[in-house]
C-alpha cells in the first residue's frame, strides 16, 4: 500500500515539524506562514526549488593556494549555502545524496571535481528519474576517481565502482552475485576523465571522457540481462532493478521520517517508486505530505551539520564572520560529520552513532558559542519555543531566563537535538 495522505490543514506544531525536517529549522514567522496550509501544497512548494545560490558567499575554493586549502574553502562554501541559501530542502537532499553516492576528499582533491559533484547533487536533488541521477553521478570525475573507475580498462578491470554501484547505490547487498560484479566492471571499462591529476594541478579542470580503446566491448551478462552492454547500460540496469526501489526509499525515510524506519511505510514508498519508474520527486511529495510523516516526531537525531545549520536558521540566520563558519565546518568534523569526507565508502551511519560523550560535549560548546560567547551573534529576542522545541509548551523554568540563556538551554535540549 502507498502512504496515507495527511488531510488536516497544518497546525503550528505541524508547520514547525515540516520545517525542522525539510529546512533544518525556521523562525517563528516562517512557521506561522504555513499554518492553515495543506500538507500536499507545502510539500510541492518546498520541492519546487531552482539552482539559485546564496548571494555574496565569502568562500571561493578556486582561490585556495593548496589542495588542502581548496578543500576547506569548498566545505565552508557548502556550509554557507546550507545556512544562508534560499533552498534548504535542496541542500538537505544534496547532503543526503552525498551520504549515498559517497566520495571523499582523501582521494578527490581537485576543485572542479568537487564543484561538479555538488552541482550534480543539487541539479538532481529531487529528480523525476533516479536513473538520470545515478548516471550523472557515475560520470563525475569525483566518483570515477574515488572508486577507481578511471583505472578500469579492457583486460585489466577494476571492480570497485561496479561493486559499490550495486551494494551501496542501487540494489543493496544480497541481490547480485560476484559474477555480476565482474561483468559490470568489464562493461564499465573506458569511463575515465582527463586533466587535473596530481597535487600541483588541483585547480585544473577534470573532464569526463569515454575512451573506446579501453572499453571491453564483448558480450556480458549482468543482473539477468545479456548483450554487448555499455557503461550506460550497466547503470540503467542497476538503477531500475526492483530492489533499488526499496533500498533507496529506505534512505529517504531515514532522512525524513525516522532513524529506524517503519518497513511498512518504506514498502509504501517503494510501491510509489515502481509505479512512477523511479520518480524521486513523486516519492518525496507523497512522503512529505503523508500522515506517516506528520506522526513521526522526535525520531531523527540531528547530524552535526544539521545541528549547526538548524541552530543558525532557527536563530534567524545571523551573519557570522567567515572565520567562524570555517571553524564550524571543522567542528562539525570533530563531532563526526566532515563534509565531503564520510567515514568510509558506506557513508556515515548516523542515528545513535552521532552521540557519545565527546560529541555531546562539543554540541554543548557550539551552542554556548552561538548564544553565550563573546563573539555570539546579536540576539535581542530569543527564538520562540515553537521554533526551538517544536511546541509552544516550553518548560516553565525557561521562561524566567534572558534571551541568550533561554536559547542556549533550548539548543542543548533533547527537544532540539531530535527532529
- Kindly report, residue by residue over 280-318, the tens digit of the pLDDT: 999 999 999 999 999 999 999 999 999 999 999 999 999
Please give the model's pTM, rounded to 2 decimal places. Answer: 0.97
pLDDT higher than threshold 80 for residue 398: no
Which residues are bridge partners to 9 per DSSP? Answer: 38
Residue 139 pLDDT level (bands cut at 50, 70, 90): very high
Residues 144, 150: Cα–Cα separation, whole Å: 5
Residues 135, 383: Cα–Cα separation, whole Å: 43
R_g (Cα) of the chain, nearest Å: 22
pLDDT for 246-261, tens place per residue?
A: 999 999 999 999 999 9
pLDDT higher than threshold 80 for residue 60: yes
Classify burial at 129, counting beta carbons within 10 Å of its beta carbon; exposed 0-12, middle 13-18, buried 19 or more: middle
Predicted pLDDT at 381 = 77
CA angle 379, 384, 388 (to 5 degrees): 95
Mean pLDDT of all residues in the chain? 96
pLDDT higher than threshold 80 for residue 170: yes
Phi, psi angles (nearest 5°) of residue 364 = -60, -40
84: which 3 cell numbers? 544562508
Max CA distance (Å), the chain:
75
CB 151 within 8 A of CB 256: no
pLDDT higher than threshold 80 for residue 399: no
- Helix ranges restricted to H, 103-205: 111-123, 130-138, 141-146, 160-164, 178-188
pLDDT higher than threshold 80 for residue 57: yes
Helix and strand counts by DSSP (H, E) for the chain: 21, 4
**Long-range contacts of the stretch 231-235 (C-beta < 8 A, 24+):** 231/138, 231/187, 231/188, 231/189, 231/190, 231/191, 232/135, 233/187, 234/162, 234/165, 234/184, 234/187, 234/188, 235/131, 235/134, 235/135, 235/138, 235/165
> Which residues, 6+ apart, have CB-to-CB distance to 407 below 8 Å?
315, 371, 379, 382, 383, 388
Residue 173 pLDDT level (bands cut at 50, 70, 90): very high
Sorted by where each begins, the domain ranges of the chain are 61-239, 304-417
Q: Is the dihedral of CA 114, 118, 123, 124 positive or negative?
A: positive
249: which 3 cell numbers? 526509499
Amino acid at each position: 500500500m502507498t502512504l496515507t495522505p495527511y488531510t488536516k490543514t497544518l497546525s503550528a506544531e505541524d508547520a514547525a515539524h515540516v520545517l525542522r525536517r525539510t529546512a533544518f529549522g525556521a523562525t517563528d514567522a516562517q512557521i506561522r506562514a504555513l499554518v492553515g496550509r495543506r500538507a500536499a501544497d507545502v510539500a510541492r512548494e518546498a520541492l519546487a526549488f531552482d539552482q539559485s545560490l546564496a548571494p555574496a558567499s565569502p568562500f571561493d575554493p578556486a582561490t585556495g593556494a593548496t589542495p588542502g586549502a581548496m578543500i576547506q574553502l569548498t566545505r565552508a562554501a557548502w556550509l554557507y549555502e546550507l545556512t544562508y541559501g534560499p533552498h534548504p530542502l535542496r541542500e538537505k537532499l544534496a547532503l543526503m545524496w552525498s551520504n549515498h553516492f559517497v566520495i571523499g576528499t582523501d582521494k578527490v582533491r581537485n576543485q572542479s571535481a568537487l564543484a561538479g559533484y555538488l552541482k550534480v547533487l543539487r541539479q538532481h536533488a529531487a529528480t523525476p528519474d533516479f536513473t538520470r541521477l545515478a548516471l550523472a553521478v557515475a560520470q563525475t570525475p569525483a566518483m570515477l576517481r574515488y572508486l577507481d573507475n578511471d583505472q578500469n580498462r579492457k583486460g585489466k578491470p577494476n571492480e570497485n565502482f561496479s561493486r559499490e554501484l550495486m551494494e551501496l547505490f542501487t540494489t543493496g547487498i544480497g541481490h547480485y552475485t560476484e559474477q555480476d560484479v565482474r561483468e559490470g566492471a568489464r562493461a564499465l571499462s573506458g569511463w575515465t576523465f582527463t586533466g587535473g591529476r596530481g597535487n600541483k594541478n588541483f585547480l585544473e579542470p577534470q573532464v569526463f571522457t569515454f575512451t573506446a580503446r579501453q572499453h571491453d566491448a564483448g558480450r556480458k551478462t549482468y543482473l539477468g540481462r545479456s548483450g554487448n552492454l555499455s557503461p550506460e547500460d550497466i547503470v540503467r540496469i542497476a538503477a531500475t532493478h526492483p530492489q533499488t526501489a526499496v533500498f533507496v526509499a529506505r534512505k529517504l525515510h531515514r532522512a525524513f521520517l525516522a532513524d529506524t524506519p517503519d518497513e511498512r511505510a518504506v514498502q509504501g514508498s517503494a510501491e510509489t517508486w515502481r509505479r512512477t519508474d523511479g520518480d524521486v520527486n513523486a516519492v518525496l511529495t507523497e512522503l512529505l505530505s503523508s500522515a506517516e510523516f506528520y506522526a513521526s516526531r522526535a525520531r531523527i537525531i540531528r547530524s552535526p551539520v544539521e545541528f549547526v545549520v538548524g541552530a543558525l536558521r532557527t536563530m534567524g540566520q545571523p551573519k557570522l564572520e567567515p572565520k567562524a563558519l570555517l571553524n564550524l565546518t571543522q567542528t562539525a568534523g570533530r563531532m563526526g560529520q566532515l563534509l565531503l569526507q564520510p567515514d568510509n565508502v558506506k557513508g556515515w551511519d548516523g542515528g545513535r552513532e552521532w552521540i557519545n560523550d565527546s560529541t555531546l560535549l562539543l554540541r554543548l560548546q557550539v551552542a554556548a558559542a552561538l548564544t553565550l560567547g563573546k563573539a555570539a551573534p546579536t540576539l535581542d529576542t530569543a527564538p520562540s519555543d515553537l521554533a526551538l522545541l517544536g511546541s509552544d509548551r516550553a518548560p516553565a523554568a525557561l521562561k524566567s531566563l534572558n534571551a541568550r540563556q533561554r536559547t542556549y538551554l533550548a539548543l542543548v535540549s533533547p527537544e532540539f537535538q531530535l527532529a
